[in-house]
Structure 1
Amino acid sequence: MATIRQRIDTTHRDAIHDAQLNLYGSRLATCGSDRLVKIFEVRPNGQSFPIAELAGHSGPVWKVSWAHPKFGGLLASAAYDKKVIIWQETSGRWHKSHEWAAHEASATSVAFAPSQYGLILASSAVDGEIGLLVYDAATSQWTSSKISKAHDQGVNSVSWAPALVAAGGEETPKRLASAGNDKNVKIWVEGENGEWHCEKTLHGHTDFVRDVAWCPVVNHTTYTLVSCGLDGNLVLYRTKNITSGEWTVKLLEKSNGALFHVSWSPCGGFFCRFLAMIIRFRSGGKNFQGQWTKVDRDNKEKGRHSKTSRRDSFQPRRDAPVNLIKLFQGVYGSQKKMALTCSDIPKFICALLLPPIGVWMEKGCGAQLVINILLTLLGYIPGIIHACIVILWY
């Protein structure tokens, strides 16, 4: 089962459209309709801290993408204002490094290429074109080019194929996948002259294709793609010989609603689609052979996630003193000064008992739960008596 391990309050003032972790999982970038890009430091102990709030777009920001850490702190964003902005961290401060405004309509997606190809950024837009930005280290300049008429009615997403080295030591050609409003997924390959052309058009949707993602792992020359769309289809594409153009298309799921995003885990064993579930791949033997199965969130996590109140979303843990403070705040509201009376004693007892009960409700049930509650009552009786005496005395 999949559980939510951490929640981060981004303080975005409007809808969040994308959230991306860097390669090490130590930083999180978010963007939203408030026209802002925000960066957070994420620590293994569950703590998170805001690092930067980047304002440079004049419309909703749809997508963000991290460059490989070997290029330093680089983040790209695409927005409704037709702009693609590359942000750079210098001496701990983030600033706008490059702005590209060559798209003629809303920029819908950005994606940095695998680091083996160098510093390259792909973008997509509603104008039906795919943009390519290549950084020249010799001149410290970005050069741009376009794939014109990539999709009719607009391109919604781009994704880079993983970089491989052939048996002879030569790199395989660069490849891109794109998802469009023409209901197709297309694979683009760079020729020897640097020109891009469509290598394959994949059909698996009956409505706009919202997102496409390459599996980051290639096993025995088997490439894998996954896409989702407004038709609710979650489609898997696979090929054992990418140069042959022979792909298998499999419908993994037909959702009741539209699907907007798909994303792989770094190892390629998991991917999730927005918003309801996670898909897991079970491998058999040494080869990637098996079935894709749905991994649901556990019931307790679903219940917590469905509550809108922060107070109601309190999660019991073993740190009873901290939980006691939180529950006390829940009993008495947000008052800074609390005066206890005799009528408050039942609430005080309830606040003392609820934290361990909440933990045992997660860990056990039945007779064991009753025994644990009774032991807890016995353990708290001296403290309760002392608290009552103090309250009545004052």
Structure 2
Amino acid sequence: MFVAKSIAADHKDLIHDVSYDFHGRRMATCSSDQSVKVWDKGDDGEWHCTASWKTHSGSVWRVTWAHPEFGQVLASCSFDRTAAVWEEIVGESNDKQRGQSHWIKRTTLVDSRTSVTDVKFAPKHMGLMLTTCSADGVVRIYEAPDVMNLSQWSLQHEISCKLSCSCISWNPSSSRAHPPMIAVGSDDSNITYSGKVQIYEYNENTRKYAKAETLMTVTDPVHDITFAPNLGRSFHVLAIATKDVRIFKLIPMRRESANSSGPTKFEVQVMAQFDSHNSQVWRVSWNITSTLLASSGDDGCVRLWKANYMDNWKCTGILRGDGSPVNGSGHAAALSAVGVPVAAQMVVGAASAGRKKAQLMPG
């Protein structure tokens, strides 16, 4: 049976992000109280706070985990114009904290002149790379050339997006047919600029990122964006949280000639659009097989969306902020039926409702 749990996170201000690690056994939360907390799932299934520390001198907007191949590594970003990388280490034998783990700051990235609004690690196959985006409209890509020394990060790329950036997502595809690709969302409220989502692709010849596509139909501020896991598909699927939930399919067009050096052209299709939240949508998150999408909005609900065999997307479950299902047990049954280890980095309505509890959707 599906169970929703409420955790007293004890943050002193709004929680802005919740992030699970690769295995779903660890979780990080961040808040306007300038702190990050790390939670571990015990054998009893309960979540226990194992670390809490002040990370920035402003609100912490996002926190994210690196792949465990690179160790226990977190990145955070903040209104204080910086991003930071944190690593968990176990105390040495001559250390007062012998055998105990603690988190230390490995580096602070200070290139942005404005609030750093999102931070994401690149897919594992690209090595240890970190991307940030800022309110100044710049996406920055950093690389750790030596994964054993996380204090050294070099700025590899700066992409000017012309619009204030709010969120980023890497395309996770490891196919050689798909160059590295980043989707960038903007929460710029200037309505004269249409196309609040831009897709950038790495060009092997120029060794730079170039704009491949702008989703012109997205004209409202974008709060979250995420590529679906790619399990061998030739096309890409992108979910967007704006005043509604949208799912786009990006189909690479065949190149005119083999030596064409420009960015890939895409056929863009709208797979689904839902305004069921009747409010701003703040987070969207896929499960690992990309068969289920979770969204959370200012209505205080997490909604689950699933496609049938005809590729028609339907709402398959609704949870209120307190974890109770809407419309009785029917939705609870549906939730358990679709197997919800949704890797849902869901903070239910946190951005405006002022909630200080993390609402979890454990597997």
Q: Which TM-score band applies after superposition, normalised by the shorter structure? A: 0.7 to 0.9
Residues 235 and 253 in structure 1, CA contact (< 8 A), matched pair in contact too? yes
Aligned to 1:103: 112
1:47 to partner: Cα distance: 1.1
Aligned to 2:170: 160
1:61 to partner: Cα distance: 0.3
* SS in structure 2 at match of 1:116: helix
Which amino acid in 2 is paired with 1:175?
M
Aligned to 1:55: 54
Q: Which of residues 195, 201, 204 is equivalent to 2:208? A: 195
- In structure 2, the CA distance between the partners of 1:84 and 1:198, relative to structure 1 (3 Å rule), is same
Aligned to 2:290: 268
In the alignment, the residues of structure 1 paired with residue 211 and residue 72 of structure 2 have an alpha-carbon distance, to the nearest angstrom, of 32
Using the size of structure 1 for normalisation, the TM-score is 0.69
Identity in percent: 25
- In structure 2, the CA distance between the partners of 1:301 and 1:44, relative to structure 1 (3 Å rule), is farther
Aligned to 2:245: 234
Q: Which of residues 155, 159, 184 is equivalent to 1:144? A: 155
In the alignment, the residues of structure 2 paired with residue 138 and residue 27 of structure 1 have an alpha-carbon distance, to the nearest angstrom, of 21
Aligned to 1:253: 274
In the alignment, the residues of structure 1 paired with residue 323 and residue 52 of structure 2 have an alpha-carbon distance, to the nearest angstrom, of 31
Pairing 1:279–2:304 present: yes
Aligned to 1:175: 181
Pairing 1:297–2:318 present: yes
Which amino acid in 1 is paired with 2:304?
I
Aligned to 2:351: none
Residues 236 and 251 in structure 1, CA contact (< 8 A), matched pair in contact too? yes
In the alignment, the residues of structure 2 paired with residue 261 and residue 304 of structure 1 have an alpha-carbon distance, to the nearest angstrom, of 19
Q: How does 1:15-34 map to 2 (within 5 A)?
A: 15-34=14-33
In the alignment, the residues of structure 2 paired with residue 245 and residue 102 of structure 1 have an alpha-carbon distance, to the nearest angstrom, of 32
Aligned to 1:308: none
Aligned to 2:88: 89
1:115 to partner: Cα distance: 0.4
Residues 269-312 of structure 1: per-residue CA shift (max 9 Å, x gap): 1111123232332342xxxx42111123369976589xxxxxxx
* SS in structure 2 at match of 1:7: strand
1:147 to partner: Cα distance: 2.9
Between Structure 1 and Structure 2, the one with more helix by share is 1
- In structure 2, the CA distance between the partners of 1:50 and 1:161, relative to structure 1 (3 Å rule), is same
1:50 to partner: Cα distance: 1.2
* SS in structure 2 at match of 1:260: strand
Which amino acid in 1 is paired with 2:39?
F
Pairing 1:133–2:142 present: yes
Which amino acid in 1 is paired with 2:316?
V
In the alignment, the residues of structure 2 paired with residue 40 and residue 245 of structure 1 have an alpha-carbon distance, to the nearest angstrom, of 40
- In structure 2, the CA distance between the partners of 1:301 and 1:55, relative to structure 1 (3 Å rule), is closer
Residues 339-360 of structure 1: per-residue CA shift (max 9 Å, x gap): xxxxxxxxxxxxxxxxxxxxxx
1:146 to partner: Cα distance: 4.2
- Equivalent pairs counted in the alignment come to 293
* SS in structure 1 at match of 2:282: coil
In the alignment, the residues of structure 1 paired with residue 321 and residue 23 of structure 2 have an alpha-carbon distance, to the nearest angstrom, of 29
Residues 76 and 119 in structure 2, CA contact (< 8 A), matched pair in contact too? yes
Pairing 1:7–2:6 present: yes
1:56 to partner: Cα distance: 2.5
- In structure 2, the CA distance between the partners of 1:95 and 1:299, relative to structure 1 (3 Å rule), is closer
Using the size of structure 2 for normalisation, the TM-score is 0.75
Pick the structure with greater CA Rg: 1
Aligned to 2:331: none
Query: Unaligned 5+ residue runs, structure 1?
Result: 306-394
Which amino acid in 1 is paired with 2:126?
Y
In the alignment, the residues of structure 1 paired with residue 17 and residue 32 of structure 2 have an alpha-carbon distance, to the nearest angstrom, of 10
Residues 189 and 197 in structure 1, CA contact (< 8 A), matched pair in contact too? yes
Aligned to 1:186: 198
Which amino acid in 1 is paired with 2:224?
D
Residues 5 and 323 in structure 2, CA contact (< 8 A), matched pair in contact too? no
- In structure 2, the CA distance between the partners of 1:279 and 1:303, relative to structure 1 (3 Å rule), is closer
Aligned to 2:44: 45
1:221 to partner: Cα distance: 0.8
Residues 277 and 295 in structure 1, CA contact (< 8 A), matched pair in contact too? no
Between Structure 1 and Structure 2, the one with more strand by share is 2
In the alignment, the residues of structure 2 paired with residue 51 and residue 106 of structure 1 have an alpha-carbon distance, to the nearest angstrom, of 28
1:16 to partner: Cα distance: 0.3
1:123 to partner: Cα distance: 0.7
Q: How does 1:314-333 map to 2 (within 5 A)?
A: none
1:219 to partner: Cα distance: 4.5
